Amino acid sequence: MSEGRADPPKTPATSPPQQAQELPEVKTLAEIPVDSRMGEGAEPDASHDAARARRAHRQLAFSDAMGVAAAVVIALVVNVLGARHYWRWDVTSESLYTLSKTTEHTLAGLSEPVEIWVLLSESDPQSLTLRHLLAAYSSQSSQLRVRFVDPDRSPAELFAAQQRFGIVAGKSEGGQVVTDAAIVVARGKRRHFVTSSELVSVEPGEELRVRPEVERMLTTALGEVLRGEPVDVCFTSGHGEPDLDTGGDDGLLPLRGRLEKANFAVRALPSAEALEGRDSISECELVVIAGPRQRLSKREIERLEAYLGSGGNFLIAAGPVPDEAARGFVGLGLDPLLGAAGLMQRQDLVFERAPAMRASAAQGELFFVKLAPHPITLGLVAAGGENGVAMLEASSLSVLPNARVVPEPLALTSDESFGMRDVFAWAESGASPEPTDGDVRGPLTLAYAAELPKLRTGAEHGSRIVVLGTASLLHGRNWRGRDLALGALFVEGAVSWLAAKTVVLDIPAKSARLSGLKITEEALATVLFGVVLVLPMASLFAGVFVRWRRGASEARGRRGPAERRPGKREKRDEREPAKREKRDEEQVS
């Protein structure tokens, strides 16, 4: 403290008076605004989740809509492609539903509607085959109108078909309705009928092997109704030619039947000496000289030459013919007709020595020839049949040096072949055929085609001539067996070319398949042993075993817990405490 200055009196320190503190108003969570709870600028959780859910829902809806739209577009594209492009896969071992080139060509030529009526029951084995095959036909042409009529279920439709096509119907012993026509192909007033027996062919033999003929019959029927008026094909007669009504391997009846199915009117042409009244040779589109065995008279040759000069066409099939004394060949007098084609026929018998071209069962007089490119052989060559046409007893042909036309070769032999001139001396010797100095060496030409100059301007073509050095190609064996079928197709192609028709080959035959089983006595005994003894004993043993197992299961179910033997699980549970106690003792030690 300083002198002369008095300190103010001290007063005891006092604290300022405490004021009553006011507590803030407490609000419940429900009364606090959501924005205050979340902080400034914060979004509520519920609102945020809701917005996110709405966005996810919109995205999901958009994805669904795009998926549906894409599916619709894909379906439309697939339908459009399916309508414009028809794809099928034939997985059958016999290629039953694969159409041949001939069928495709025929269907491509349809320019107006053609009806196909199938009058078969749905239980018929051929019904399903026809449905698949006609589906393939319809995919190739929109002009087909296919209609299936079940005679058992649709009597009204069957009656309509009967009234329209004159079909005869009856009932079999089993009560099924059968008709005399299984298929009717119709175009306008033209119609063609196919019977049930024509849909398959049965091969001879011990085994029951059948060959499907459905495509062959259908395409033949289509070709029949598409063609116009029949074309006359005339066969010469009176010179030892086979008769048109003679069947068998050497007859002409199979050839006649095939030509008639191809819409040709086939008839025999009387010889000039037997002619009475007006000569109808001028009405023939084609004259066939099919293997004469006697010399044609001068009058007959003049008649045929006049026909050729007027624009006629010839198919000449003539092979070597021994004379009565077996010392030489008969001169058939065909030189003027052959000369018009620029050809001559040698007096020889052709032998083939190449192993790949000759038949093993003969000495070389039966052999296969190689086909040359020509409209007649085009289809056969394309199908791989250029070496499959067989000839028997043929003479070789040669081109004249001063020929006015240039004939085109159709069939040739190999380099190892030869034409034997002195056949009769060889036949007496009994030796194997071998070429000599006087024989003609191969390759030899056995078939030619020639076209003469046009007679008038604007004509489609001149007279056409096909010359074959053998008559064997016209014989019935070529249409009766599959081994010689290519020869039949060769002849049909020649006839089509000569008649100025589109060359349509026959439908290739399908493979035969086993349709039944042959049961021998041994096989029957084995079947009886299995059915009568083995199967009943096996069934009895299985029944006893099942009954024993069921009885054992029921016995275990009836036992109580005390009687029931402890199982593996129960024994394991009993041993578990002892194992734990042993582990604890080991840890303590």
Q: Is residue 443 reached through a cis peptide bond, with omega within 30 degrees of 0 on the bond before it?
A: yes
Supply the pLDDT for residue 79.
74
Higher pLDDT, 521 or 550: 550
Q: Confirm if 447 and 397 have CB atoms less than 8 A apart.
A: yes
In this structure, the number of other CB atoms found within 10 A of the CB of residue 166 comes to 12
CA gap 212, 193 in Å, rounded: 17
Identity of residue 354: A
Q: Is the pLDDT at 466 greater than 80, yes or no?
A: yes
Contacts 24+ apart (CB under 8 A), 217-220: 217/183, 218/103, 218/116, 218/133, 218/134, 218/137, 218/183, 218/185, 218/194, 219/100, 219/102, 219/103, 219/106, 219/507, 220/192, 220/261, 220/262, 220/507
Higher pLDDT, 84 or 146: 146
**Three-class SS of 504-521:** CCCCCCCCCEECCCCCCH
- Confidence band of 84 (pLDDT split at 50, 70, 90): low
Q: Confirm if 289 and 315 have CB atoms less than 8 A apart.
A: yes
CA atoms within a 13 Å half-sphere pointing along the CA-CB vector of 97: 20
Find the DSSP H helices in 33-168: 34-38, 45-84, 101-108, 125-140, 155-165
- Confidence band of 96 (pLDDT split at 50, 70, 90): low
Residues 6+ away with beta carbon under 8 Å from 121: 127, 150, 151, 152, 153, 176, 177
CA gap 320, 33 in Å, rounded: 124
Supply the pLDDT for residue 572.
60
| 464-468 and 445-451 beta bridge pairing | antiparallel
User: Taking residues 520-540, what's their average pLDDT?
Assistant: 78
Q: Is the pLDDT at 13 greater than 60, yes or no?
A: no
Between the alpha carbon of residue 25 and those of residues 20, 29, 32, 33, 38, the distances in Å are: 15, 13, 12, 15, 20
Q: Over the stretch 367-382, which tens digit does the pLDDT of each residue have?
A: 999 999 888 887 777 6
In this structure, the number of other CB atoms found within 10 A of the CB of residue 392 comes to 18
- Element containing residue 583 per DSSP (H, E): helix 568-588
Supply the pLDDT for residue 557.
66
Between the alpha carbon of residue 550 and those of residues 76, 238, 536, 540, 557, the distances in Å are: 60, 92, 21, 15, 11
- Confidence band of 574 (pLDDT split at 50, 70, 90): low
Strands (E), 300-388: 314-317, 343-345, 349-351, 366-371
Q: Over the stretch 173-217, which tens digit does the pLDDT of each residue have?
A: 556 666 767 888 988 878 788 877 778 766 655 555 667 788 888
User: What is the full DSSP assignment across 461-479?
Assistant: ---EEEEES-SGGGSTHHH
Among 5-14, 18-27, 199-208, name the most confident range.
199-208
Residue 185: what are its φ and ψ, rounded to 5°?
-110, 125
On the 0-12 / 13-18 / 19+ scale of CB atoms within 10 A, 127 is middle
Q: Confirm if 124 and 199 have CB atoms less than 8 A apart.
A: no
Supply the pLDDT for residue 298.
93
Give Rg (Cα) of the chain: 48
Q: Over the stretch 258-291, which tens digit does the pLDDT of each residue have?
A: 888 777 889 999 998 888 878 889 999 999 999 9
Between the alpha carbon of residue 232 and those of residues 30, 235, 304, 314, the distances in Å are: 111, 10, 16, 13
Supply the pLDDT for residue 585.
72
Q: Over the stretch 196-207, which tens digit does the pLDDT of each residue have?
A: 777 876 665 555
User: Taking residues 295-314, what's their average pLDDT?
Assistant: 93
Residue 486 corresponds to which tokens in the numbers above?
């290519």
Higher pLDDT, 585 or 28: 585
- In terms of Cα–Cα distance, which of 225, 218, 190 is closest to 103? 218
- In terms of Cα–Cα distance, which of 220, 233, 225 is closest to 261? 220
| 3 state DSSP class of 236 | strand
- Confidence band of 87 (pLDDT split at 50, 70, 90): low
Question: Max alpha carbon distance in the chain (Å)?
Answer: 196
Q: Is the pLDDT at 301 greater than 90, yes or no?
A: yes
- In terms of Cα–Cα distance, which of 342, 371, 395 is closest to 494? 371
CA gap 383, 393 in Å, rounded: 26
